[in-house]
Amino acid sequence: MGTPELRHLVALDILNTRFRQSGRPSQYQRTQSELLLTALNEAWAPFLGLRPGNGTRFALETQIGQEGATLLKSVAVGYGGLQWVKEGGNLRRLALPREALWEHSWLEPMSIFRFLGALATFRELESPPLLRMWACDFASAAMVMRTRLELAGETEMPVWRMGKAGIIYCLAVNTFWAPVMPKLDPDVVTLARVIDADHPHQVRERLRAARSAYYAAFAGWGIPERAIRTMNANTMKLTWDGAFSRARVRI
């Protein structure tokens, strides 16, 4: 899972697992979802870590395929921040939007989903390689959330009981699973105000750019947009778990 594209292929596999030769599909989905969340948290450690990366497989340069990737924009830091950086602190962490940084907790792996959703106004996403990484990982985290919702079997609109995470999920759905030519939905701007009340239109445009980068990433591998849409559009919950349960009921 060392690159965003590979992580997303894992997310697609988790979402589309309906049958297993052995073991319950639901258990496989839960286990793999936890592993993917761990990978997503580690993948963004170059920004979230207190210290700069140490050359692991999740080094930013490895993930985005760009040698010597550094912050392209200047970062305004106070005296305390400057001293912290001089003592070995991670400058990339200081560059993150504060609202996004507050969403993340190492004790809550699923918080990476809220972090990525709140990252839309991050200036460094103007870099095409980093935009591609963010788009793929945001979509992957959203697929983990979608898988969990399907496994929960909720029927009373659980998304609207998820608070800010539910709003971010709605934005992810509109970004990555909407029709090929989505309508200019004014509700997108309304929802975007939750991420940044002062720049909702900027959030909407960044999400549009994420959609383009998302499909372009796989087009570069020769995987057409229609193939990705076919895989991520499958929301049927038909697994061996459910099939066997129904059979036992009939008996």
pLDDT digits (tens, 9 = 90+) for 73-83: 777 777 787 88
Distance CA 97, CA 102 (A): 9
Predicted local confidence at residue 243, as pLDDT: 44
Question: Using an 8 Å Cβ cutoff, are 232 and 218 in contact?
Answer: no
Predicted local confidence at residue 240, as pLDDT: 44
Residue 221 contacts by C-beta under 8 Å, 6 or more apart in sequence? 5
From residue 88, alpha-carbon distances to 62, 69, 95, 143 in Å are: 22, 18, 15, 35
The tokens describing 247, both together, are 């059979």
* 73 Ramachandran zone, left/alpha/beta (phi>0; psi -120 to 50): beta
Taking the model in full, what pTM does it have? 0.86
Predicted local confidence at residue 68, as pLDDT: 56
* Dihedral of alpha carbons 65, 106, 1, 232, sign: negative
Residue 145 has, within 13 A of its CA and on its CB side, a CA count of: 26
Predicted local confidence at residue 237, as pLDDT: 46
Predicted local confidence at residue 7, as pLDDT: 93
The tokens describing 177, both together, are 């699973």
> Residues of the chain whose pLDDT is less than 70?
1, 21-22, 53-57, 67-72, 154-157, 179-186, 233-251
Residue 224 has, within 13 A of its CA and on its CB side, a CA count of: 4
Predicted local confidence at residue 81, as pLDDT: 78
